[in-house]
Chain A
């Protein structure tokens, strides 16, 4: 069990005042962006990315991981109290959580969510510690064809799962891949799509893409609807989050079940926490039906909240593990973290464990520390976080805009990049406006170059024979599973479209 000694070394390195400070900053920032509707951890990491260059990579990644986990701690707060989930990963928790709050059990609901997030994160991080060497060993068997298959899998799985319309998901993905083609082609040195602009020779900086689409796009989108849905909020009063013994015992099996759903999904590029949280919620719902649980769907069931919360954080842990060991991002936030690694000149994957082993184990150890910090912050300070919801929206968005401009200027000191940023912000606005998902675009931009390199490498080895792409059991397995997912997802969309039409016909 060499992992344990490595992890202990990691704890030794993480428990310095300097690193602990960044654990704390990450946890606070993450919870804050999680609580505030409209901001997400992916946007937060994107905005932080350029302004953390002055830090050493370990501190930066400790902070990013804190933001990723913290976002999933905080996102249920607004969902429970106001019925407006902070991120889409908290929709499933909102169903029962908000019902509990409406029936005067807001404090219990907040505690259930926080402990659920803690348990989910704890279980999945532990899995990563023991499982990552296996993943690393597996990854060393991968050649170009295998990596290309994984990238295609990530592309299509995300496009079909995350989007309301598979077509629009694929459109977004292709736009992302196209953006990544700009710049000088590595293997041949050919200049591609830079239109003679020297700033584009190195390609469009990933910081510009993420900040433009996620941050400025959101600001423009908010501007387009700010006068349309005026909401004045009034929060239900409630003390600190607390939970009794009876409730704890009731929720415990659901927390564990939720973590069980979440952990495997972190390793599958299916867009993050949405699918497992809904799977966990659905399971609790079916169990409640069988048990004739009267609380479910009426006064709010603690089980229906506990399971999705644990599931959400369980995906974050294993998603980080998969990113570190395979270099494969399974969610939009993980994709931006991958970009962060590349900014620091590191490539996640088997080599990372060899070359930067110290960083990896310090990061994993600080995840455990971060979870404890987050649990404490969310249990003791729940009312303080809820107060964030009183921050006027216009200050929030003005602040995001200023940070976005600052960040991009900080990376390149280039005015061309600032115009590019605005252009991408408009693209992000249009995509939001017309229901085109952003996650596939992120994955496309970040995995596109990898997919291209591996595809060309594989074809060069086989001298142009495409059958090399499906020549190993691993690649065949990946494609078979992928076809299964796409077929199921298409059938689902067709069935729902038909049902909707029948409903419309009946109503008319």
Chain B
């Protein structure tokens, strides 16, 4: 990832390995917002506990969590922790204990390998599956921010254009841009598919279900 020709300053390098601090910042900002809002709220009624009670608790807990996660991120930069095949939605530790599987076996799931057919060895003893050999800490960490940025810009553009261009055109444009961004190379076929999908939606939802979708030249709501 950091293969630029000029060596970046140590601070920047340290930050680059700790991008997760964005999450810490989000936690802290939300926590602070809750606390400040609770102080400045115009409270109606005199119920005890009042409407600020829970926001204060959640706000304090958010700040505590932010500090704790921040400490973890600073101590263990991302590339130390990241492993190929990491899934964000499961606790590998717990599941491994429940199922007696070892790390390599667990990580091998999700890698498309149809050709490696060798004897996969026993469950617990040493093995060098395809997942192990390429366990370089770079693969999952890098992300393609240019594509993500383009998709994001498309989404915002869609919302801006929707009231003026109407559903059929802006929906088709949205479809086309996303498909393009995600690697489609057949321009005219995409145009066809996009128009087909947005028109079918217009017919089903606008026509059959009576949802009023924006029309061409409709103007702001």
Contacts and interface: CB of A to CB of B under 8 A. Distances in A.
Interface in B178-221: 178-184, 193-194, 197-198, 201, 205, 209-213, 221
Question: Helix, strand, loop or mixed for chain A's interface?
Answer: helix
A255 B141 CA distance: 39
Contacts of A285: 99-101, 123
Contacts, number: 302
A476 interface: no
Contact of B99 (A279, A426, A455, A492): A279
Interface in B37-57: 37, 41-45, 47-51, 53-55
A143 interface: no
Interface string B120-158: 111100000000000000010011110110111001101
Contact of A431 (B88, B91, B171): B88
A: contact size bracket: 35 or more
A133 interface: no
A401 B114 contact: no
B90 A192 contact: no
A464 B48 contact: yes
Contacts of A177: 54, 58
B2 interface: no
Interface residues of B, number: 103
Interface stretch (A23-31, A83-91, A118-126, A367-375): A83-91
Contacts of B159: 405, 415, 418-419, 422
B109 interface: yes
Contact of A398 (B22, B30, B179): B179
A496 B93 contact: yes
Nearest to B66: A171
B120 A227 contact: no
B175 to A, nearest CB: 5
B119 interface: yes
B99 A191 contact: no
A190 B211 CA distance: 33
B108 to A, nearest CB: 8
B42 A422 contact: no
A394 B179 contact: yes
Nearest to B214: A409
B159 to A, nearest CB: 5
A17 interface: no
A192 B98 contact: no
Contacts of A364: none
A352 interface: no
Contacts of A163: 88-89, 91
B166 interface: no
A226 B158 contact: no
A60 interface: no
Nearest to B72: A167
B8 interface: no
B58 A181 contact: yes
A171 B35 CA distance: 16
Contacts of A88: 87, 89-90
13 contacts: A83-B113, A91-B90, A95-B101, A95-B105, A236-B114, A402-B171, A410-B205, A414-B221, A415-B221, A422-B156, A422-B159, A438-B88, A456-B53
